[in-house]
Amino acid sequence: MQINIATRHGDIAEATKDKISSKVSKLQRFFERLMSIDVTVDLERSDEPRIEVVVTPEHKRTFVAEHSSADMFGSLDQVVAKLEQQIKKYKEKIQDHNKGHEATF
């Protein structure tokens, strides 16, 4: 899985990028087929940075979440929680769909 972290309107420290990377990498626990995670930190409003995360699995579906608040890591936690919910719902949908096509002998 590839994790890309980009910033707009400023830079963030390498330690902050490592912390962001470790938090978003936990999404793979919920769905093993993730190909890439793109994190964008927008620092246009320095008092309220916006975090956007785009998760791309193997197939067509893409998961997107964003949040902005005064606490950047609080926003990141909110985004990760939203993505967990989207991924779980999608995985349940796939599993329920596959249950209907079991072969009977």
Model confidence, pTM: 0.84
What's the confidence (pLDDT) of residue 102? Answer: 56
Domain boundaries, the chain: 2-99
CA atoms within 13 A on the CB side of 22: 6
Q: What digits encode the pLDDT tens for the residues 60-85?
A: 789 999 999 999 999 999 999 999 99
Residue 40 is classified by DSSP as E
What is the H or E stretch that residue 98 is in?
Answer: helix 72-99
Q: Do residues 49 and 43 lie in contact, with contact meaning Cβ atoms separated by under 8 Å?
A: yes
CATH superfamily membership of 2-99: Ribosome hibernation promotion factor-like (3.30.160.100)
Buried (b) or exposed (e) across 74-98, using 16+ Cβ within 10 A?
Answer: ebbebbbebbbebbeebeeeeeeee
